[in-house]
Amino acid sequence: MRTKCFLLLLLVMPVAVFANPLIKEYKLDNGLKLVVQEDHRAPVVVSQVWYRAGSLDEVNGKTGVAHVLEHMMFKGTKKVPAGQFSRLIAAAGGKENAFTSTDYTCYFQQLEKSHLPLSFKLEADRMENLQLSEEEFSKEIKVVMEERRWRTDDKPQSQVNEAFQGVVYRAHPYSRPVIGFMNDLENMTVADAREWYHNWYAPNNATLVVVGDVKADDVYQLAKQYFGKIKPKALPERKPQVEPVQLGERRVVVKAPAKLPYLLMGYHVPPVVNPESDWEPYALEVLAGVLSGNPAARLNQTLVRDTQLAIDVDAGYDLLARGRQSLFSLDGTPSEGKTVLELEQALIEQVEKIKKTGVSQQELDRVKAGVIAADVYQRDSMFYQGMQLGTIETIGFSWKMLEDYPNKLRAVTAEQVQAVAKKYLHQDNLTIATLDPQPIAPNAKPQGKPHVH
C-alpha cells in the first residue's frame, strides 16, 4: 500500500493569497484508488465512485449497456433491496444520482459530513453484490428507452449530434451514442447487464473521490474499512482503438420536426496524451476561447452581432478524452433568410483568418484572464472539484494535471494558436452535419402555432 501526500503549490495569481486545497491520494491493496480534497468551508461532503467503464468500452449490438447498468445499480443487493439505496440516502438528508459518459460511469452522494460512512457502506455493497434480476431489468430497460426518446429521438439537435458522431468516427467507439441505439436497447437482456457488471465493476477499475469537510487520513481509514475486503478482478483487455486518418470532407443531413436549421462542424484534433510534454491541446483550448470564450469573442461578435448571419454560434474543444480522440467543433444556427451553407462558409472564413493572420496579444490575454479566474471560481463548488479530480484520474492521468493547467495555458503563444489552426483545421479533416427542419404537421400555421384539438 502506498500513501502519498501532495500539497498544491500556490498558483502564481494576481490575487490575494488564500488557503489552497489539500489533496491527498491513496491506493488500497485491492487496487481502489482514493483521492481526497479537504474543503472545510461547510460541514458537508461529496462522495463519488468513478468506474473506468463507459460507452467507449461497448461493442456493436450492445450499445447503451454501460448506461443501462448505471440505472440497474439502484436495483438492489441482498442487503439493500431495490429502491432502498435512494431511501437510505434521502433519510440522511442526502442527494444522490449517477451519470454515464463515453469515458466513465460515476455515482455520487452529497451529504452532511457525518454521513460519509453510509455512502461508503452502500457503494461498497453495490460494487460487488448487485443483484441483477430479470424482473427489475425488464422495467428499467423501458425507462431507459423513454429516456432515449426524450433526450434524442424527439430533440432535433440531439439527432444531429448522434448522426455527426456516427460519421466523424468510422472505427472508433466514440461513433456510438452513450444512450445506445434503440434497436440495441430493445434487444438488450439482463445477461448483457450482468456481463458488463462482472467485467468492469471492480475496485481495481474504480476511483473513489471525496471532497469536503473531512480529514484525508480518516477518509482513507474509512475507505479501507468498507472497500478493503472487495476482491480485485482481472479486467478484460482493452485494445487500442485508433480512428484512421480522415481522407476528405464528410457530410450528413438530418431531417426532423423543427423551425430552425442547425450546423455542426468538427475537425479531428488530439486531446492530451502526454501531460508532461503536450502543448497542442492547450493551444487548441486557447483557440476555442479566442473564437467563443465570451460574448465579444470572434464568432459571436462577427457572425451574430456584426453581420447578423447567425443567431447563435459556438466553438468547442475538450482536451480530456480516455479514447485519446478529440474534436474541435464549430456550430451554429443561421439567421432567418440565411442558409447553413452561408454560415458554414462564414465559419470557415473565421478559421482561415486565424490561419493567415493569427490572434492578437489582447485576445490571448483575455482568454488567460478567464482561465485564471475560473480556476478560482470553481473552488466554490465541491461537486465540480470532485468532477475534475474523478475525470482526470479515470482518463488515466494524475489529478496533479489540474495544478499545471493554468500555467500550461498561460504558456501558450499566439504562434502556437496559429500553428494548431493551420495543422488541424483543414477541409480534408472536416465533418459537417446539418439539420434540415421539417414542418411539425402538414396543416401547421406559418408561425408555428400548434394545432389544437
- Catalytic residue numbers, as ranges: 70
Kindly report the number of other CB atoms within 10 A of residue 450's CB atom: 9
Told to check if 70 binds other proteins by CB under 8 A, we report yes
Told to check if 238 binds other proteins by CB under 8 A, we report no
Taking the C-alpha atoms of 159, 162, 168 and 174 in order, what is their torsion angle to the nearest 10 degrees?
170
Among 142, 170, 255, 356, binds other proteins (CB under 8 A): 142
CB-based contact 159:165 (threshold 8 Å): no
CB-based contact 25:399 (threshold 8 Å): yes
| Interface characters, 12-51, with other proteins (x: CB under 8 A) | --xxx-xx---------------------xxxx-------
Question: Is the CB of 44 or the CB of 401 nearer to other proteins?
Answer: 44
Residues 84-113 that bind other proteins (CB under 8 A): 86-87, 90-95, 97-103, 110-113
Told to check if 295 binds other proteins by CB under 8 A, we report yes
Q: Which stretch binds other proteins (CB under 8 A): 23-31, 151-159, 187-195, 218-226?
A: 151-159
Q: Which stretch binds other proteins (CB under 8 A): 70-78, 226-234, 339-347, 426-434?
A: 70-78
Question: Is the CB of 26 or the CB of 57 nearer to other proteins?
Answer: 57
**Coil, strand or helix at 269:** strand
Among 65, 69, 210, 258, binds other proteins (CB under 8 A): 258
Burial of 428 (0-12, 13-18, 19+ CB in 10 A): exposed
Kindly report the number of other CB atoms within 10 A of residue 215's CB atom: 13
What is the edge-to-edge ordering of all strands in the sheet holding 250-257?
250-257, 430-438, 262-269, 326-334, 310-317
Among 4, 79, 149, 255, binds other proteins (CB under 8 A): 149
- Give me the helix-helix angle, 361-377 and 414-424, nearest 10°: 90
Residues 322-381 that bind other proteins (CB under 8 A): 322, 333, 335-336, 365-366, 369-374, 376-377, 379-381
Question: Is the CB of 203 or the CB of 334 nearer to other proteins?
Answer: 334
CB-based contact 298:351 (threshold 8 Å): no
The residue count for binding other proteins (CB under 8 A) is: 103
Q: End-to-end distance of the chain based on CA atoms, in angstroms? A: 69
Among 5, 150, 236, 255, binds other proteins (CB under 8 A): 150
203-to-51, 123, 262 alpha-carbon distances in Å = 9, 11, 43
Rounded to the nearest whole angstrom, what is the least distance from the CB of residue 269 to other proteins in the complex? 14
Residues 171-200 that bind other proteins (CB under 8 A): 174, 178-179
Question: Is the CB of 254 or the CB of 258 nearer to other proteins?
Answer: 258
Rg (CA), the chain: 24
